[in-house]
Amino acid sequence: MRVRDFLRHVVEATRQRLPPEWQAFQHRLRFTLAQLYYADPRIHFEVWVQGKNSRVEVGLHLEADKATNDRLLSHLASRFIEIQAELGPQMELEQWTRTWGRVHQTVPYTRLDEELVQAVADRLAPMILLLAPMLEEIEG
């Protein structure tokens, strides 16, 4: 399956796994990644196909201004035990660049296929259902 088709399928499979109140996200497809967001596109859930190392990153990316990102990342860090308890010990929280942060995991793959679409959507949907409300606690 081509990367763009894979990402399109992941977006739709994820939407189908969410309750109606969370299905209205917007999304952008960019080269090897899909970004799903609700209000601010700079704060988005991302699926990034990293073909060079045969991994798919699935996570929340905080790419707004530094003050916003720091505030959100700090809040998520204070709840990280809960995040790992719900989503698994493979979840990582990091200050990715000087100004950006992310909460993510990676999924190894051998082929971009329907089985991987389902596996990625099975990880992304619970991530949205847990982390999006946490962001709303701060952002309102």
Per-domain residue ranges of the chain: 3-139
Collapsed DSSP state (helix, strand, coil) of residue 88: coil
What is the pLDDT at residue 99? Answer: 85
Contact residues for 82 (Cβ-Cβ < 8 A; gap 6+)? none
Position 120, amino acid: V
Given 3.30.1460, 1.10.287, 3.40.50, 3.30.70, which CATH number is that of 3-139? 3.30.1460
Measured CA to CA, the distance from residue 126 to residue 29 in angstroms comes to 21
pLDDT tens digits, one per residue of 64-90 = 999 999 999 999 999 999 999 999 999
Closest of 61, 58, 19, 55 to residue 40, by C-alpha: 61
Measured CA to CA, the distance from residue 24 to residue 1 in angstroms comes to 26
The predicted model scores a pTM of 0.93
Over range 103-130, report the average pLDDT.
97
